[in-house]
Amino acid sequence: MFPFKKILVFCLIMVTLFSCRKDFEQPNWDVDLLAPLIKTTLTLEDLLPDSVLQTNPDTSIKLVYQENIFEVDMDSLFQIPDTTITEIYIFPFNSIANPGNSFYSSAEERTLNVNNGVQLNYALIESGFIELEVFSEIKEKIIITYTIPSAIKNGDTLELKEIIPAGTLSQSGYFKKVIDLSGYELDLTGISGSQVNTFITRAVGTVDTNATGPVTIATGETITYVNNLINIVPYFVRGYFGSQQLHFGPETTNITAFNQIISGTLDLEQVDVNLEFKNGIGVDAQLILNQFSTINTNTANNVALSHSSIGSPLNLNRAQLTYSVPEVNYTNYNVMINTSNSNIDQLIEIFPNQLLYDINLEVNPLGNISGGNDFVYKKHSLETNLNVEFPLSLIANNLTLQNALDFSLTSESETGRIIDGTLFLYVTNGYPFNADLQLALYDENNNFLQNLAVNNQIQSAPVNAALKVVSKKESLVSIPLTGTDVDNLYLTKKIILSIAFTTTAQPQFIKIYEGYSIDIKVVGDFSYNTSF
Amino acid sequence: MKFIVKFSLFIIIIVFSQSPVFSQNSTSFFVDTTQHLNLSFGANYSYGSSAVNSTFFNKFIFGGKIEREHKDKVYENLSNKNKLGGDLDYSMNVEIPYDTIFGKTSISLVLGLEHTEHIDLEFSDDLFRFAFDGNKQFAGENADLEVNYNYYKYQQLKAGFISYKNINNKLAKTGMILSFIKGEENEILKAAGGLYTEELGKEIDLDLVYDYNSSDTANKGFSAFNGYGVSTDLFAEHFFKNGDKFYFGVEDLGFIHWNQGSLDVAADSSFHFEGIEVDNIFDLNDSLLSDLSKDSIINSISIINQKRAYSIALPTAVNIIYTKILNEKWKITLGGYYKILSNYFPLISVNCYYYFNPKFVGKVHLSYGGYGKLNTGLAFAKSVATYFDIFIGTNNIETFIAPSSSYNNSGFLGVKAYF
């Protein structure tokens, strides 16, 4: 036993000695890092979408902005609401009908409930349905042949032939079917051919050929037809659209072109606006522009257009059918607005985010001069477009553009942490303006943390007598980062970057040319605590 | 008082870090006069550098902030090529005596387990400065980055024989122990290059030639079996007529084959960096930071990046000791020690033993070389109740007294039980 006791004691001592192990903390030390972080070239395309920038023959850049203000389309002129048309046929006397014999025939006119007094004589249906319900009190199965002679698709008349169950003393025989009207042409001139909004239905009743014997139709028994017109959408209509007075506004539409500009002033040398009316509807119209303003809701500024077109009637001629592709020849009416005949530059210089308009439109101001040949396609409308074009020839004072950048330093903190340092921006500016930077830090809840101090500004490139940049200008902008700044940077999830531009050679207008750019290299000079 | 605190800390470090070197230490205090069944545990650690002092080393290993003055002190000692290395071993051995085995007499069977961890590197002055002070100091200059780094972690299952021979009335041992090795972790890096930082930090150029091998990085921990190998320990003692002893030993002569999951990365390329190129600075986001991940940089500059098996030779040690018995109280040893393939500088040592009584001995150690410089040590051994030998000591007592002037640290602890 003795050796075993010794072994036990020995092992206990060893286990006690070797069982504990200290988990040491990580060593850490500070290093000074100097390294390039970001290299980029900034051009106007980075600030504005390519679609709004165009180059003039002299390589100067102009900004082109297009906005659709409003449209008058088929829905604006009329609509065909869902309609239910019920027809009850009451048998006036007793009669007997043998199997296979027709015992009932009727032709009826149905009137579409077209609003706004619009008188249609033809419609090509894009989509929509007729839901047909038939209730029969005849005590035998009957065959109903339902026809709409004025509805034709691919040369075929719309026809339905269905068996209606026999009625009983307590319950009528019932049948229901939904007919798709897509692609049907509707003649809406009725039986006489001179009516409007009217189509014809015809129904013929025949005793089922499989009936066991003659059927007695008693006096007062009925066959009821319920026509439900559902979601009728024409592709094309023709007729007389009436003399309608339409009013649009005052309404606002959003403008996004200047969203990034938050402050400063901008003076534009020239602004050209083409207020373009394109009529794709086969009606004459008279338009009066009662009000046309721009609004900056952030600064509560608004400017109303002062131009001869305001309050004056503008006559728009009807579009013409081509009977080809495209189906319609639009007619255009352009109102040219520029800095010479209006205050249009002021409307832009407030950096609007809304456009306000108020318009009266009279359809067929001269009455039914087309002889019922007004027309409208669903896809062709009367459009009003605003085409703005101005050369980037400007005077800017602290014109401040703002942008939000996603930012996170979280991943870096796993292996070390920035203590403090300086961000150096080596900027080579090819634009004829000075620029001041501001960086505001925000946390994940969008709470403002702080602004970072920025030393020096980006200096303007020098210009020659023609006010054209002759060479690039180098500037050094530094952003010192204290310990507090760094602490906040680690909390930062969004940086709001604001750049305030001021053009050189004021008060002269400076043109921006294609090829101008700013080269930026960001160098970090940090004290960094690293751990191993 | 300070010394006591340091010494206490030393004891704690040894115990808590489960450290090693046992075989030589255990036998050098009390000489075996007969074969015994015995069981021994040992732990030993040592680390040192030709440039990095113990203050810095202790901070690096045990954690805490490495301050400016710590780095400046190291900079005073840096040369073009600097060495650094360390070992950590735990071992357990059982020696079973046989009167006769395989027809031979006085043979003991030795079985043992050992865990070994070894690190060594040779590095340039600039590399150290770059690692611990960053690249800003090299603005406008080229930093010479050169390193040769080896790291091993493996476990050995040992089996061998010790032959006892009576020479001039002394019991001399000759032995051979074979080990099967379970490879746990390995890294080998040979890199040379230059880092140029433009004066204002606008550009960084890295010219790099490197070859890096690593065992399976996805499989780590004590249970990881990433390679296998064999090694052998050979040793022999001889007693002279005057009682002096000569010892010669070769340790860990062998290799490890690391498996197919191992990584082989090599590069010979130039890397020019001017910042992350951003198309639109207004679209800057944190995904850009991922472009600078360690993996992406390695991938961008590597010409070989593959998984393949490889084999390495172990850092084999050669140990020579001459022991002079002066009288019953005093004994002196003179030794030389060298590890091949491990950036090691030959170590020359002198040990002076004083026997307070036959069961209690003290040792004073003086050596130069290895991964450090001058080493001064102190150790004690006690034989308790004839059943246990216990020894404890360090070869670097100076590190506890003046760590900022010391370049090595070591400790050993062992227990041997006789049955």
Quote the ipTM score. 0.78
B-proximal residues of A, 33-62, CB under 8 Å: 33-40, 42, 46-47
| b/e sequence B219-244, b meaning 16+ C-beta within 10 Å | eeeeebebbebebbbebbbebeeeeb
For B112-161, the pLDDT digits (tens) are 999 999 999 999 999 999 999 999 999 999 999 999 999 999 999 999 99
pLDDT value of residue A331: 95
Q: Which of B160, B172, B313 is nearest to B247 (CA)?
A: B172
For B312-357, the pLDDT digits (tens) are 999 999 999 999 989 889 999 999 999 998 989 999 999 999 999 9
**B283: closest chain A residue by CA:** A405
pLDDT at A15 over 60: no
Backbone angles phi, psi at A249, to 5 degrees: 115, -175
- Mean pLDDT, to the nearest integer, of A255-275? 86
Please indicate whether, in this complex, the C-beta atoms of A24 and B290 are within 8 angstroms of each other: no
Minimal Cα–Cα distance from B326 to chain A, Å?
34
Cα end-to-end span (Å), chain A: 51
HEC assignment per residue over A265-321: EEEECCCEEEEEEEECCECCEEEEEEEEEEEECCCCEEEECCCCCECCEEEECCCEE
A-proximal residues of B, 375-414, CB under 8 Å: 387-388, 413
pLDDT at B306 over 80: yes
Question: Which residue in the set A6, A30, A524 is minimally distant from B387, CB to CB?
Answer: A6
Strand partners, A276: A334, A385
Backbone angles phi, psi at B262, to 5 degrees: -75, 155
Question: Which residue in the set A22, A31, A426 is minimally distant from B16, CB to CB?
Answer: A22
For A192-250, the pLDDT digits (tens) are 889 999 988 898 989 888 888 888 888 999 999 898 989 999 999 999 998 889 898 89
How many CB atoms are located within 10 Å of the residue B5 CB? 10
A-proximal residues of B, 71-90, CB under 8 Å: 71, 90
B-proximal residues of A, 282-311, CB under 8 Å: none
User: Is residue B218 within 8 angstroms of chain A, CB to CB?
Assistant: no
Minimal Cα–Cα distance from B141 to chain A, Å?
13
For A325-368, the pLDDT digits (tens) are 889 999 999 999 999 999 999 998 898 999 999 999 999 999 99
For B29-76, the pLDDT digits (tens) are 887 777 788 899 999 999 899 999 988 988 888 888 999 999 999 999
pLDDT value of residue B298: 55
Residue A461 CA to its chain's centroid (Å): 40
Please indicate whether, in this complex, the C-beta atoms of B415 and A10 are within 8 angstroms of each other: yes
For A95-122, the pLDDT digits (tens) are 888 898 888 888 888 888 888 889 999 9
Please indicate whether, in this complex, the C-beta atoms of A36 and B274 are within 8 angstroms of each other: yes
User: Is residue A32 within 8 angstroms of chain B, CB to CB?
Assistant: yes
- As given in the structure block, the two tokens for residue A187 are 């003649």
Interface contacts A/B by beta carbons within 8 Å: 148
CB contacts of A40 in chain B (<8 Å) are: 277-281
Q: Write down the pTM of the prediction.
A: 0.70
Gap between the Cα atoms of A331 and A278, Å rounded = 6
For A75-93, the pLDDT digits (tens) are 888 888 888 888 888 888 8
Gap between the Cα atoms of A363 and A518, Å rounded = 54
User: Is residue A532 within 8 angstroms of chain B, CB to CB?
Assistant: yes
CB contacts of A520 in chain B (<8 Å) are: 281
- As given in the structure block, the two tokens for residue A350 are 């407030």
Instruction: Identify the band that residue A11 occupies on the pLDDT scale cut at 50, 70 and 90.
Output: very low
Minimal Cα–Cα distance from A526 to chain B, Å?
9
HEC assignment per residue over chain B: CHHHHHHHHHHHHHHHCCCCCCHHHHHHHCCCCCCCCEEEEEEEEEEEECCCCHHHHHHHHHCEEECHHHHHHHHCCCCCCEEEEEEEEEEEEEEEEEEEECCEEEEEEEEEEEEEEEEEEEECHHHHHHHHHCCHHHECCEEEEEEEEEEEEEEEEEEEEEEEEEECCEEEEEEEEEEEEEEEEEEEEEEEEEEEECCCCCCEEEEEEEEEEECCCCCCCCCCCCEEEEEEEEEEEEECCCCCEEEEEEEEEEEEEECCCCEEEEEEEEEEECCEEECCHHHCCCHHHHCCCHHHHHHHHCCEEEECCEEEECCCEEEEEEEEECCCCEEEEEEEEEECCCCCEEEEEEEEEEEEECCEEEEEEEEEEECCCEEEEEEEEEEECCCEEEEEEECCCHHHHCHHHCCEEEEEEEEEEEC
Please indicate whether, in this complex, the C-beta atoms of A18 and B15 are within 8 angstroms of each other: yes
Strand partners, A385: A68, A276
Instruction: Identify the band that residue B16 occupies on the pLDDT scale cut at 50, 70 and 90.
Output: very low
Please indicate whether, in this complex, the C-beta atoms of B136 and A405 are within 8 angstroms of each other: no
Instruction: Identify the band that residue B195 occupies on the pLDDT scale cut at 50, 70 and 90.
Output: very high
